[in-house]
Chain A
């Protein structure tokens, strides 16, 4: 039943995409946070995907799932805005915000949700085909 593996493959991809969506959500939520007491503002995070072979045997290259290999932090400096009256302003009167780019995050979000939908479609098709296979010969 090699089709049963489709659920593993598409399921792993859907889970990886939902993790990506989760990271996008925390980036967007922190888009306007300022530097905390330690002087470090929130840094935008990015997930990196990696292929994961999930066939029955080690050299079965046909079913390739996905997993999140790393979540890396964007190291570009945060936005600095001159606002001396802000309670978080430094000695020069600058406030450091997080380095989240809201436009990039929105694009990332749409891409993640499209990929998620694709994988759900694949699982639905595989399910209906398997159900029809189970009725074979009747």
Chain B
């Protein structure tokens, strides 16, 4: 019962952690806009989320080696395997592939979606709380 209560919250928590990871990645790209030879990177959000929530091929699963252990999918170990290189739209003489327009757009997009996920979590918590307190 209790894990069904938090299942939908878990999904949003994974999404939130991936969003913050992507935010960090885009911030690195913007920071390195003038660094010679820097290659811009991004994550495929849908694929990363599928891996993180275990509905695709899970990257790491925690093993229960003793009867008291709690099973679970490996949360947090999903950043390295899904790092992709962003395809450069315009080539640069110093081999830097950061496209500032695209990075700013993805940064804004990602921060809005981060906030959306936050609101989902808040609404979820409020729904659960009102279910617990009931009609009074």
- Residue B10 at the A interface, CB < 8 A? no
Q: Can you list, as one digit per residue, whether each of B12-39 has a CB less than 8 Å from chain A (1) or not (0)?
A: 0000110011011111101111111110
A62 touching B83 in the complex, CB below 8 Å, given contacts A3-B24, A118-B104: yes
Count A-B pairs with CB separation below 8 Å: 97
- Residue A94 at the B interface, CB < 8 A? no
Q: Can you list, as one digit per residue, whether each of B49-84 has a CB less than 8 Å from chain A (1) or not (0)?
A: 000000000000000000000000000000110010
In the complex, the answer to whether A9 meets B118 with C-beta atoms within 8 Å is no
Q: Which of B78-135 contact A (CB under 8 A)?
A: 79-80, 83, 100, 104, 107, 111, 114-115, 118, 121-122, 125
Q: Which of A85-138 contact B (CB under 8 A)?
A: 111, 115, 118-119, 122, 125-126, 129, 132-133, 136-138
In the complex, the answer to whether B21 meets A62 with C-beta atoms within 8 Å is yes
How far does the alpha carbon of A59 sit from the alpha carbon of B79 in the complex, in Å?
11
- Residue A48 at the B interface, CB < 8 A? yes
Name the interface size band of chain A. 35 or more
How far does the alpha carbon of A66 sit from the alpha carbon of B25 in the complex, in Å?
13
How far does the alpha carbon of A138 sit from the alpha carbon of B121 in the complex, in Å?
11
Task: Specify the chain B residue showing the minimal Cβ separation from A48.
Answer: B36
Residue among B28, B104, B121 having the largest count of chain A Cβ atoms under 10 Å: B28
Count of residues in B whose CB is under 8 Å from the partner chain: 33
Q: Can you list, as one digit per residue, whether each of A16-34 has a CB less than 8 Å from chain B (1) or not (0)?
A: 0100100000000000000
Cβ of A17 to closest chain B Cβ, rounded Å? 7
Task: Specify the chain B residue showing the minimal Cβ separation from A5.
Answer: B24
In the complex, the answer to whether B35 meets A51 with C-beta atoms within 8 Å is yes
Q: Which of A50-75 contact B (CB under 8 A)?
A: 50-51, 59-66
Task: Specify the chain A residue showing the minimal Cβ separation from B121.
Answer: A136
Q: A51-B37, A63-B27, A136-B122 are in contact. List 18 more A-B contacts (CB 8 A).
A: A2-B20, A3-B24, A10-B27, A13-B31, A49-B32, A49-B35, A50-B35, A62-B24, A62-B41, A63-B28, A64-B32, A65-B28, A66-B31, A115-B33, A129-B115, A132-B115, A133-B118, A138-B122
6 A-B contacts (beta carbon < 8 Å): A2-B17, A49-B32, A49-B36, A64-B32, A119-B30, A122-B107
Which residues on A are within 8 Å of B, measured CB to CB? Answer: 1-3, 5-6, 9-10, 12-13, 17, 20, 48-51, 59-66, 111, 115, 118-119, 122, 125-126, 129, 132-133, 136-138
